[in-house]
Structure 1
Amino acid sequence: MKTRQMVFFLVWAGFILYAWMVAPNGNDGYLNQLIRMNDPDPLLLTVFSLLGLFPITFMILLLTHDNSRIPAWPFAAGSFILGAFALLPFFFLSTAEKNRSDRIPSTLKRVLNAVYFHVLLMVSTTMLIIFGLLQGDFTFYAQAFKTSQFVHVMTIDLFVLTGLSIYTLHWDQQKTGVQNKSFLWGALPVIGVMVYLVQNKDQRRQKIEG
């Protein structure tokens, strides 16, 4: 097992153990509140919504180059439900070698890599984050983080997915030949990935369609 694969395996295993053994055991009905939209706290709603948007960014990045031995799409699809728990295994099971043609139809790749789609995600996510920061109750969220396993794990998941974004953008740069340091945009949840995609749209399009 390569160093990269070992690191991702340890992160995945550590995250599972953390959620099981370290996260608080309380369950105050926050998930039910969010699903039913029963007046959830705006900051809580924002974080929950970001976890629904993050898988879209990984669908764009991973399915653009889905040509290795292990298919990327099941892991990207699973992240809509399980977040980083479903996504991390791809990074320690996959290999860097290309050994087949892309699994994803060219039409779907064009839709996923359409600039208007990226701009729409960027604008909607920006509005979502501004709403959460301005209207949310940070004291309420901090208390929920301390007492609720769901909120606690959800918050950690957001940070893990953000870290994965940085790595995946760097991986995308290697695939598409982008030479700048724009992979650091991944530190800004979802929005940064869209900025990277728009900023490097021409170079990526040439590589993807070529």
Structure 2
Amino acid sequence: MIRNLALWLLWVGFVVYAFAFAPPTQPDTFTLIKDLATANWDGINPLVIALFNIMGVWPLIYSCFLYSDGRMQKIPAWPFGVASFGVGAFALLPYLALRNPAPTFAGEKTGWLNLWESRWLAIGLAIGAVGLLSYGFSQGNWSDFIAQWKTDRFIHVMSLDFCLLCLLPPTLLGDDMARRGVQDSRIFWAAALIPLIGPLGYLLWRPPLKQ
């Protein structure tokens, strides 16, 4: 109950901050989003390019947890998973606040579920994330990024969204480990405390669901 309330408060706080207190929306924001989405990246800071694309990797990572978890919930996971591709933690936080603990798995593993259990998907996500991180850190301009973060609502909120997505995996990780018979707390903390790479490493390693 306290955990759920804290997640609701976090969601409300994030929504209020994003729309009431974040820097203003810049006139060229729509053009920037269109150029990022269509890979028209000339003149765009590589850090912004990397961040934008990693925000597409995060929902896929969460989907690898959501759909087995959602099988055990009264609410369907897929609307929140789909919405997270557009609005990230804005969509995931309500699901995390509404769900109940689910340390066991029951039922048949469908093809849809097998997709999100796939080791090949985890490998692809890991390669993509590492490539984007390498590109952003090696080619990006940090002073320009910080200036944009201070003045541009899109980049500001996207950055905060990324940070939230880095903090939220523990809300699903413990139950996912329990459904697989994993009890080593070191694995939990390694996956929980290392942003992005930790959850990806766990997805690469995790054993199959126990039925």
Check the 8 A contact 2:75/2:99 in 1, yes or no: yes
3-state DSSP of counterpart to 2:168: helix
Alignment partners' CA distance in 1, 2:192 and 2:48: 22
3-state DSSP of counterpart to 2:74: coil
Please report the TM-score for the alignment, with normalisation by the length of structure 1.
Answer: 0.87
Partner of 2:16: 17
> Gapped runs of 5+ residues in structure 2?
none
Check the 8 A contact 2:69/2:102 in 1, yes or no: no
Deviation, structure 1 residue 46: 0.8
Partner of 1:108: 112
Deviation, structure 1 residue 206: 4.6
Deviations 1:161-209 (A, max 9, x none): 11112332223223333112323324444432221122222xxx151xx
Please report the TM-score for the alignment, with normalisation by the length of structure 2.
Answer: 0.87
Q: 1:31 aligns with which of 27, 30, 33?
A: 33
The percentage of aligned residue pairs carrying the same residue is 30
Deviations 1:137-157 (A, max 9, x none): 111110110000000000000
One-letter code of the match for 1:71?
P
One-letter code of the match for 1:3?
I
Partner of 2:205: 199
Partner of 1:4: 3
How many residues align structurally? 203
Q: 1:153 aligns with which of 153, 157, 177?
A: 157
Partner of 1:182: 187
Alignment partners' CA distance in 2, 1:97 and 1:161: 21
Partner of 1:83: 88
Alignment partners' CA distance in 1, 2:66 and 2:165: 14
3-state DSSP of counterpart to 2:169: helix
> Gapped runs of 5+ residues in structure 1?
none
Q: Does 1:118 align with 2:116?
A: no
Q: 2:56 aligns with which of 52, 74, 84?
A: 52
Check the 8 A contact 2:25/2:152 in 1, yes or no: yes
